[in-house]
């Protein structure tokens, strides 16, 4: 087999820029593995790159296969690989500067690949790497969240938010989450201690001071979030860098997180899944040929958990 089905972009633009086609099947070079992709998660980074929002800050070249959240099976090994073996069931958040996983096969650096949790299928495993690493690096690496601290998580029912809630509760934090009324019972089931309905309440009016705010929305929500932080508290965003000047003036801290591949952290997430301390919520499963619809659902927001492409 010299070709594979894939979803590529040849130019930046709207949903019409996505092309479902036959593409050359890649081959692993030194330090790389070839993974047959069983499922690929859809994330905001996918449609943001499609729209060209990062074209001046990345090393990507077109045409480009999108999708950097995958689960599959190792089917070939490049020279110099020594940790994985043929037939390993794996998952990964690959480097976004290279072709992604909206395809039947993907080449990934071995250093970016972890063994997937055995207790979940590839569909659910594909929804974990990017969102799980984002939540882990935001809460624990940037935010330093500790037991007993209070954290406000915006969009607590989303792909990142739903995992962040569970990780914060695993750390024995007190969790406040924002969501629409339709998702109140859902986020309570994940462990949220206080639910805020963003349609009927302003969170800064009903939330007592917190040690950390996890901002997944940006804009006005980010600006209002300063108001609920305790002295010395931290505002962590994955959308836009919070103002350093504002943080200094208010005696607060800030951090902007760009998610990085990290196999040891994926291994920790795997342990939590295997211990049934962490579950991946998948709301919609679509075929690879329907990636356009998947990206539109993700961009629209208001999803419960993840949208995932079934490839095999």
pLDDT in tens, 221-244: 999 999 999 999 999 999 999 999
What pLDDT score does 57 carry? 67
Of residues 103 and 303, the one with the higher pLDDT is: 103
pLDDT(266) > 70: yes
| Beta pairing, strands 229-237 & 210-215 | parallel
- pLDDT (average), residues 60-79: 96
| Separation CA 195–CA 310 (nearest Å) | 33
pLDDT(10) > 90: yes
Angle (CA) 176 141 50, round 5°: 85
| Separation CA 67–CA 60 (nearest Å) | 13
Model confidence at 1, in pLDDT bands (50, 70, 90)? confident
Based on its alpha-carbon atoms, the radius of gyration of the chain, rounded to whole angstroms, reads 19
- Percentage of residues in the chain having pLDDT higher than 70: 99
User: Tell me: the pLDDT tens digits for 107-118?
Assistant: 999 999 999 999
User: Tell me: the pLDDT tens digits for 196-223?
Assistant: 999 999 999 999 999 999 999 999 999 9
Model confidence at 305, in pLDDT bands (50, 70, 90)? very high
**Residue with the two structure tokens 């070249």:** 61
What pLDDT score does 58 carry? 63
Question: Is the separation of the CB atoms in 49 and 61 below 8 Å?
Answer: no
Question: Is the separation of the CB atoms in 137 and 160 below 8 Å?
Answer: no
| Separation CA 196–CA 199 (nearest Å) | 9
- pLDDT (average), residues 281-307: 94
Model confidence at 302, in pLDDT bands (50, 70, 90)? confident
Q: Is the pTM of this model over 0.85?
A: yes
Partners of 236 in the beta sheet?
A: 214, 255
pLDDT(258) > 90: yes
| Separation CA 206–CA 55 (nearest Å) | 40
Reading the block at residue 154, the tokens are 């915006």
For the chain, list the domains and their CATH numbers: 3-128+281-310 (3.90.180.10), 131-256 (3.40.50.720)
Model confidence at 75, in pLDDT bands (50, 70, 90)? very high
Average pLDDT, the chain: 96
């Amino acid at each position: 087999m010299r070709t594979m089905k894939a979803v590529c972009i040849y130019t930046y633009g709207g949903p019409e820029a996505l092309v479902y086609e036959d593409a050359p099947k890649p081959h692993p070079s030194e330090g790389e593995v070839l993974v047959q992709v069983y499922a690929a998660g859809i994330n905001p980074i996918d449609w943001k790159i499609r729209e060209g929002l990062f074209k001046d800050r990345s090393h990507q070249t077109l045409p480009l296969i999108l999708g950097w959240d995958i689960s599959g099976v190792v089917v070939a090994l490049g020279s110099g690989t020594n940790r994985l073996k043929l037939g390993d069931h794996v998952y990964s958040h690959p480097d976004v500067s290279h072709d992604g996983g909206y395809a039947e096969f993907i080449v990934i650096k071995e250093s970016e690949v972890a063994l997937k949790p055995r207790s979940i299928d590839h569909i659910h495993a594909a929804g974990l790497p990017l969102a799980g690493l984002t939540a882990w690096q935001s809460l624990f690496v940037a935010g330093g969240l500790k037991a007993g601290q209070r954290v406000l998580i915006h969009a607590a029912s989303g792909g990142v938010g739903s995992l962040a809630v569970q990780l914060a509760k695993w750390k024995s934090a007190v969790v406040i989450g924002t969501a629409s009324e339709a998702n109140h019972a859902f986020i309570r089931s994940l462990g949220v201690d206080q639910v805020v309905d963003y349609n009927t309440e302003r969170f800064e009016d009903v939330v007592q001071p917190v040690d950390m705010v996890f901002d997944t929305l940006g804009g006005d929500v980010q600006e209002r979030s300063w108001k609920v932080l305790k002295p010395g508290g931290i505002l962590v965003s994955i959308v836009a860098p919070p103002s350093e000047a504002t943080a200094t003036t208010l005696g607060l801290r800030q951090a902007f997180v760009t998610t990085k591949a990290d196999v040891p952290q994926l291994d920790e997430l795997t342990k939590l899944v295997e211990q049934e301390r962490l579950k991946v919520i998948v709301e919609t499963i679509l075929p690879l040929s329907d990636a356009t619809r998947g990206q539109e659902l993700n961009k629209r927001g208001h999803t419960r958990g993840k949208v995932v492409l079934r490839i095999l």
